[in-house]
Amino acid sequence: MTSYVSLLTATDARSHVHLIIGTNPLAAARCGQSLSSGASPILIAPGTADLHYALQKRVDDGEVKWIKENFQDEHLFTLGREEIDHVVDAVFVTSGPRDELSAHISVLCKRNRIPVNVVDAPQLCTFSLLSTHVDGPLQIGITTNGRGCKLASRIRREVAASLPPNLGSACLRLGDVRRKIQEEDHLLHIALADGEDVDDSIDQSASFNKLVTEADIDAAKNRRMRWLSQICEYWPLKRLAAITDEDVSNILRSYEDLGGSSSIGRSASADGASSRGRIILAGSGPGHPDMLTRATYKAIQNADLILADKLVPAGVLDLIPRRTPVHIARKFPGNADAAQNELQEMAVTGVREGKTVLRLKQGDPYVYGRGGEEVEYFRRQGLDHDKVIVLPGVTSALSAPLFAAIPPTQRDVADQVLICTGTGKKGKAPAPPEYVASRTVVFLMALHRIEGLVGELTTHLETETQAPRRVLWPRDTPCAVIERASCPDQRVIRTTLDKVVEAIEQEGSRPPGLLVAGRACEFLNKLEKGRVWSVEEGFRGLNFGLEGVDLGGA
């Protein structure tokens, strides 16, 4: 069965005449709605009627004209505007479907093509009123097409609550910009066509006129309109709602500068600034964009400036709105500290300009992410607690093993997990952890020096002469190398400590990757007999057949 929906339209009812029939609170409400649309409501009710007080007040205030008569057919054809032969523009019956008069009025209106609405009687109506949210020029109307006005009003409240405040005034402002652009275009075209000076009132010199051709104007016009539509399209609603006078003049000014290129008012939050600026330090997870937390996703959508670490996965960078400036850390060997300083300074400058700066890190910001250092730095710069927000991320240290089917803790196998680094400060090797049979150890930043690491784990250092000596790792300890976990090119190599160096040499490396070692590695995955390592390619972790879940940029 085909089900139809209503044709939603917005009626310009200014100066229309609306007949309101009834005396109850609904009649009062209809009068209010009519008045706010600029129409003139006329109330039809006998002089003896007891009007609802709100209705009485509107009558007393002269807003509503009261014709103290019972309804008569000719009211429909005599009380309206002269220009349409005195036919009224719409009729609202508020006495409900059981009133015989309702059906009569409905038939009469339908026959004469006068829009009619009867309370609680869809079959008697030619139109219905929407549950509306109004904010300045912005109106949002909801209908369930007769499935329940309470439900519609609930949905309307929910929709309205999800909108940023001041959206109505943003509509006003943007509407102004649009109108101004159109007006100026129009004037310029007229001026060009006539070969006359442009009207002084728009503040442009006569020479301007001579320098500019029709093509120039068209180009600029397109550019400016394009900016305007880009802003409407790409700025987060929250930002649009907070649009400032300065933003508006930036948009308009870009028109006068006919030759130059311009930016779309990045200064959106530059005024009143420093009180609003803040920094969000967030983790972006191991690689797959679906591993982002909702909090970090929101931060990405709302940031004014994003400062990302080099390892932040491409799938995550792809989520950044096109208008948001992004700076990616220039970290390369020998430049790590300089790159770190540069980002930190940019962050502080941004915050002082009133921006929401997002420091996007890979994995979790506090797990080998220098997150603590950054927070300390921001504090030293005088940014207090409410200016610096830290959001967790899914760390590769725990998610990579998971995606390789390795439970880091496992009853009767491993009751501890240690996360450590294979690389110390200034490239020096950190102290190797001793072997604990019931412990799983995850080594980050270790694969580039895997040979050295395995050597340290399995043999004593020259300096380790005194007893009690560190417990060494058995050479046959199961381990796994997990690379690019959660990315489409994820790879897992399962082997043992004594073969891992050879395996990596033969298979090559695919950074970033980590090493997991301990008996938990073989709990769900025993190596086939006779094999010294196995390689598994690809990531299937999120392939649970739900629509909208893809394998990350594949």
Of 41 and 422, which CB lies nearer to ligand SAH in the complex structure? Answer: 422
Task: Considering the complex, state which of residue 278 and residue 484 has its C-beta at the smaller distance from ligand SAH.
Answer: 484
31-38 contacts, C-beta under 8 A, 24 or more apart: 31/55, 31/58, 31/63, 31/64, 32/58, 33/129, 34/92, 35/63, 35/64, 36/134, 37/11, 37/13, 38/13, 38/14
Task: Choose between 265 and 363: whose C-beta lies nearer to ligand SAH.
Answer: 363
Q: What angle do CA 261, 264, 268 make, to 5 degrees?
A: 140
Least Å distance, CB 360 to ligand SAH, is 11
Query: Do residues 66 and 43 touch, judged by C-beta distance below 8 A?
Result: yes
Q: What are the residue ranges of helices labelled H in 40-117?
A: 53-60, 75-78, 100-111
Residue 474 or residue 553: which is nearer to ligand SAH going by CB? 553
Complex with ligand SAH: residue 316 or 397, whichever CB lies closer: 397
How far apart are CB 449 and ligand SAH at their closest, in Å?
11
Is there a cis peptide before residue 468, judged by omega within 30 degrees of 0? yes
Query: At residue 512, what are phi and psi to the nearest 5 degrees?
Result: -80, 150
CA angle 376, 380, 386 (to 5 degrees): 75
- The answer to whether the CB of 106 falls within 8 A of the CB of 93 is yes
DSSP conformational letter for 410: B
| φ and ψ at residue 118, rounded to 5 degrees | -115, 125
Q: How many residues would you count in the chain?
A: 554
Given the complex with ligand SAH, which of 287 and 350 has the nearer CB atom? 287
Nearer Cβ to ligand SAH (324/362) = 362
Task: Provide the minimum distance between the beta carbon of 452 and ligand SAH in the complex, in angstroms, as a whole number.
Answer: 15
Closest approach of Cβ 513 to ligand SAH, in Å? 5
H-type helices in 303-370, by residue range? 314-317, 336-352
CB of 132 to ligand SAH, least distance (A): 48
Nearest partner of 43 among 82, 83, 94, 103, judged by Cα: 94
Shortest distance in whole angstroms from residue 537 CB to ligand SAH: 14
C-alpha to C-alpha distance for 200 and 217, rounded to whole angstroms: 18
Q: Considering beta carbons, is residue 135 or 364 the nearer one to ligand SAH?
A: 364
Q: Which residue, among 494, 528, 262, 487, has the nearest Cα to 396 in the 3D structure?
A: 487
Query: C-beta of 298: minimal distance to ligand SAH in Å?
Result: 20
Closest CA to 62 of 45, 43, 79: 43
List residues binding ligand SAH (CB under 6 A). Answer: 286-287, 361-364, 367-369, 395-397, 400, 444-445, 482-486, 512-514
Min separation Cβ 362 and ligand SAH, Å: 5
The token pair that represents 503 in the structure block:
């395996």
Shortest distance, CB of residue 398 to ligand SAH, whole angstroms?
Answer: 8
Task: State which residue, 240 or 400, has the beta carbon closest to ligand SAH.
Answer: 400
